[in-house]
Amino acid sequence: MLKKLAFIAALAVTAAPIWAHEYTVGDLEISHPHAFETPPMAMTGGGFMSITNSGAAADRLIAVRADFPRVELHQSVLTDGVGKMLSFEGIDIAPGETVLLQPGGYHVMFIGLAGRQFKEGEKIAATLVFEQAGDLAVEFSVEKRPVGMGMGMKMDHGKMQMNGMSGN
């Protein structure tokens, strides 16, 4: 029994980097980049992660590149029961701070899926572009959408802000 426990412990230690799903560049640590599965005809999909700056200087996520017609940094906001998405040219990461890209807040928007459904277990190759730390290749792991996190949020796309311009 003791040998079996030692084997399981050794397996857990050697597999930890796979489970951790973390990346570093400069003073930044990117944890758990992921996306949720999408319906077959979805035109967009969201990307999520946390970014921790352990350095003494601020940095900024200024872009994400991936093999889609457009990839943008967005923030979801809810005003009077109507969701809106605002496009940003960058997300600041202050020294000693962690920024969460999560549903309902900041996120990466993969635009133009055109039938390319995100399926659980797949990986989405992307490059995060930071103002100071530079480029970092990552993979977003596609996960099952959590129960209760539906696609039914009412969005006012007519008022969507895209790169500082009205989406009308």
Q: Comparing 87 with 132, which gets the higher pLDDT?
A: 132
**pLDDT tens by residue, 39-79:** 999 999 999 999 999 999 999 999 999 999 999 999 988 88
Question: Which pTM value belongs to this model?
Answer: 0.76
CATH top-level class of 21-141: mainly beta
Which residues are bridge partners to 155 per DSSP?
83
**pLDDT tens by residue, 35-48:** 999 999 999 999 99
Strands 106-111, 82-88: pairing kind = unpaired
Identity of residue 44: T
Cβ–Cβ < 8 Å for 110, 66 = yes
Every domain of the chain and the residues it spans? 21-141
Return the H-helix or E-strand segment holding 18.
helix 2-20
Nearest to 60, CA basis, from 130, 138, 108, 136: 130
**Confidence grade of residue 154 (pLDDT, cut at 50, 70, 90):** very low
